[in-house]
Amino acid sequence: MKQQFDTMKQVIRILRGNQVVQLAVLIFIVINVTAALVFYVEHRSNPDQFKSFEDALWWSLVTVATVGYGDIVPKTDLGRIFASLTILSGVILISMFTATISSVFVARKIKESQGLQDIDFTNHTLICGWNNQVEDVLRIFERYHTKQMQIVLVNDAPPERIESVINAYQHIEIKFVRGDFSREPILNRANVKHADSAIVIPDSGAVGADEKTLLTILTMKSLNPKIKVCAHILNRENRQHVKRANADEVIVSDQYTAFFLANNILYPGAAQVASEMLDYERGNDVHRVPIPEEFVGKPFGELYIHFKKTTTGRF
């Protein structure tokens, strides 16, 4: 008895909180009540058309839905009065039902554009933070990834700015969550528990950016220990702290500046080779490819000849 009472309470709670369900239930009641009334009135006077309750139910359904096939028609005065009321009820209820459904989708779209909608992606990639490197990352993803990626941007950038970015990268499925990416509720909205990887980038001009990155990684790893996190930090002194937070990869700003400057003096051209290898705008890139099974355990020279014949790149 208690279980039935709890079930009834859950049903009432659903009905109170969902206008679409309320209207659907009301339409169902109207269809059945009007079918019963018209069948009671017409069955004796018009037995050829209202042979059974199923016929009356069919008539009520097409009448409420404002279809009106005309294959079954009440003939008595009382039946026609009920039919008129059914038509008016159907017009009102169906209009309200379609308008409510439309409003739900419109509200969802508005929430998505404002970054307030919960994300339903799985095995996706989070990009937390906002600076001029975010679009470079997206550009590389779009150019080199073999399958469509699902990306969730988590930041406090203006929604109109994010919308322009989403429209610019049509080959990537991008969604937006607005808020402080170091906070657990914001990460939960981005569905971090089912994310595959994350990139944490310092906000432009942010004070204490590395500390926020550290807090974000700790929060992410507590919610999803398996997530792969790549972090960009500004101060190399914080590298060890970020690594202790279980960041999988740490990139330090200006990490290789001294290398390029010194090598351009000591070994002119050497640094340029490395720079051009990483310049994706020229069509160059460095990526990993699997070793064919038939070359496992064989000398490197044979693998080199194989790739030299089958690829246009260098390795």
Question: In this predicted model, what pLDDT tens digit does every residue of 113-143 receive, in sequence order?
Answer: 667 788 889 999 999 999 888 998 998 888 8
What is the pLDDT at residue 8? Answer: 56
Q: Tell which CATH classification among 1.10.10.10, 1.10.287.70, 2.30.110.10, 3.40.50.970 matches the domain 2-114.
A: 1.10.287.70
Q: Where are the domains of the chain?
A: 2-114, 125-253
Distance from C-alpha of 165 to C-alpha of 154, rounded to nearest angstrom:
13
**Which of 267, 12, 24, 232 is CA-nearest to residue 137?**
232
What is the pLDDT at residue 177? Answer: 92
Q: What residues have CB less than 8 Å from 249, skipping those under 6 apart? A: 229, 230, 231
- Fill in the amino acid letter for 241: H
Distance from C-alpha of 87 to C-alpha of 68, rounded to nearest angstrom:
9
81: pLDDT strictly greater than 80: yes
Question: In this predicted model, what pLDDT tens digit does every residue of 232-264 receive, in sequence order?
Answer: 999 889 999 999 999 999 999 887 778 778 877
Q: Strands of 249-252's sheet, edge to edge?
A: 173-178, 150-155, 125-128, 197-200, 228-233, 249-252
63: pLDDT strictly greater than 80: yes
Distance from C-alpha of 73 to C-alpha of 50, rounded to nearest angstrom:
9
CATH class of 125-253: alpha beta
Distance from C-alpha of 279 to C-alpha of 285, rounded to nearest angstrom:
7
Residue with tokens 């990009």: 127
Question: In this predicted model, what pLDDT tens digit does every residue of 29-62 receive, in sequence order?
Answer: 888 998 888 888 888 788 888 888 888 888 888 8
217: pLDDT strictly greater than 90: yes
Domains 2-114 and 125-253 equal at CATH topology level: no
